[in-house]
Amino acid sequence: MNRIKFFRTKYGLTVKELSVKSDIAIGYLSDLENGNAKNPSLRTMQKIAAALGQTVPDVFFPKEKKEVC
């Protein structure tokens, strides 16, 4: 699961604003954000991460917290 929506809302951006900043189509960005599209290209991930002021791993490969038993 990616964190596009988390960072987008954190910085007060609409999907349209992020679309303009990243040069990614609104529909595709929305599909990525909602998990309806999978496996974006590296270039797409870089554009979105840069528009959010984050790194690709922070947005697309967040570290999962593991429970300690």
- pLDDT, tens digit, for every residue of 43-64? 999 999 999 999 999 999 988 6
| Per-residue pLDDT at 63 | 80
Q: Is the pLDDT of residue 22 over 60?
A: yes
Is pLDDT above 90 for 65?
no
**What pLDDT is attached to residue 34?**
93
CB atoms within 10 A of CB 57: 11
Residue ranges covered by each domain of the chain:
4-60
The dotted CATH code for 4-60 is: 1.10.260.40
d(CA 51, CA 44): 11
pTM of the complete model: 0.87
How many Å apart are CA 49 and CA 57, to the nearest integer?
9
Taking 70 as the threshold, does the pLDDT of residue 9 lie above it?
yes
